Amino acid sequence: MKKNLSLVLFKRSLQAALVIAVLISLFPGALYAKKPTTYLAPQYQVPLSPENAFISVAPMANSAGQPESVDLTNEFEKLEVARQSGFKVMPFEGAGEYAKDAIPYLMKSEEMLDSAKLRVIARMIKFDLIKKSGNEKYAEFYKQYVNSPIACFVGLGLGTGPACGQIPAYLPLKDGKNFFFSTLTIIEDIPEMFLVTDAIKNDTFDLVVAHENAHGIMFDMYGSQMSAVEKKSNIGHDGPVISDRGLAYLEGWAEAFEALYGPTNPLLKLKEEEREKYRISEFLFTRQEPVRRDRYIWQTTKKKTGILKNGLQIISTEGVIAGVFYDILTSRAIKDPFVKSVSVMYLHRPKDFIGFIKGWVKEFAEDKRVLYRIFLEGTNYATVSNNARGLYHDYYQAKLKYVQKTMDQKTFYDIKNKWTVYKEELFNTVMKQDNIDANIGPDLWMNVGIIPAAPKAKDLIINISTITPDLLSRFKLSGLNDEDIVKMTQAREAMGILPFKTASEALKNFLGEQKANQVMTENKMTDM
């Protein structure tokens, strides 16, 4: 009874903190080879047994029945997390109908054991880097943390869905010491979207937890500096969704690991109409091929148009970033891509994917040509040139017509050669100037106070540089009709890089000052 009361009180007291502290992450993918991926770091031997890889815990209660909080006092613990207090926890199987099955399932999953090993390997790399820096005391502390298991809250009903957050926790040991965890992985349902029991039955549960553990790997590398990665968008996130640079970087990294492990599950190769038969969550099912085949670079994956997103949209789309991370991690032309990835994260703490690439080139200059080629070919040079977007579209449409035998060979190859020559010239320029972000415009954020389509919603945040016509139409903003939206979009597409300093300045240019002022006033729109 006391244990149940403790859990109830814990839910109430921690709910608000979790909204901020926990990164809700849900979006799976698929695999490069039909085997786990520790070949990504073969020089690291990790004799990690399943029973030492995962632990289910719950908060301890003090004498008043409240969750027992612990302030961080160790200077090195403070370097590992974004919060200055944690919770004492105790071993606990979990709550709910799947509690008895969740951890045993993870222990039996080759993919999850592989994911857990990669987490340990990442920490080993960080330990080596700390030691190399000469900070012996920090290295001594971190050495004790390297092999810690993945700590899970199973079925505690926190309202987050599957997630991983930088919430420090302490497991008291008999010798009076504490076992320190820098993150907690939360395992629970998302009503009407994802059920743990179904995911265990159809063997997709490991993809979800591997995604969360990938967040944990990044959190381990960034430590208390994780807040450097800004996440401003609040319109939600998924593979094709354009959110912002920071969120796309975070979620793209995690989705890449779903893409790595996905092909080990034959059910994910079924047709869409068979998905519901096996109760596979839609978001787990639909992001597999688009990530591995770099399909989220297009404005839509529903039609074969070949129209690319603009440069800023590209790096603000997590599915795009997932695809490029996947290509990097599976590249045979880059030595130790996983080792280098986490090293860049620790040494440079990039704020977005462009920062990640620049940090990599600074740290591992020998990979510059291959890395640039992977990124630029995967995004069809949209981040470098607005003209590239047009030439790629012409080539893509010509290829469709050629395959359908409605275009002759000479015409097709003339168009193809024009695209090929242009992108090779761009590549050579980028190699000389390192301007991989030459066609990435500024973020122009705006707060929308009134949303007619969702009157209960408040403080919607949109980016005039990236927001799609479909989304603008759905919001049904007062004073903004479909003709205005088309006008805005066409002007933005033609410019490529927007020369404005604020969102309101851009709106006035697109719509005219009088019309823009009307729309901003009626919808209480203000620059951020």
User: 10 Å Cβ neighbour count for 130?
Assistant: 21
Reduced 3-state DSSP string for 3-43: HHHHHHHHHHHHHHHHHHHEEECCCCCCCCCCCCCHHHCCC
Q: Can you give the pTM of this predicted structure? A: 0.90
Residues in Cβ contact with 185 at an 8 Å cutoff, skipping those fewer than 6 apart = 150, 151, 152, 153, 163, 164, 209, 212, 213, 216
Question: What tens digit of pLDDT does each residue of 111-149 get?
Answer: 999 999 999 999 999 999 999 999 999 999 999 999 999
Distance CA 390, CA 317 (A): 20
Beta strands 54-59; 150-154: pairing state: parallel
DSSP state of 310: P
Cβ atoms of residues 290 and 240 within 8 Å: yes
Reduced 3-state DSSP string for 95-106: CCCCHHHHHHHH
Residues of the chain with pLDDT under 70: 1-39, 270, 273, 277-278, 281-285, 455-458
DSSP state string for 384-397: T-HHHHHHHHHHHH
**Predicted local distance difference test score (pLDDT) of residue 33:** 41
Question: What tens digit of pLDDT does each residue of 351-410 get?
Answer: 999 999 999 999 999 999 999 999 999 999 999 999 999 999 999 999 999 999 999 999
**Predicted local distance difference test score (pLDDT) of residue 37:** 63
User: How many Å separate Cα 17 from the centre of its chain?
Assistant: 21
**Predicted local distance difference test score (pLDDT) of residue 457:** 66
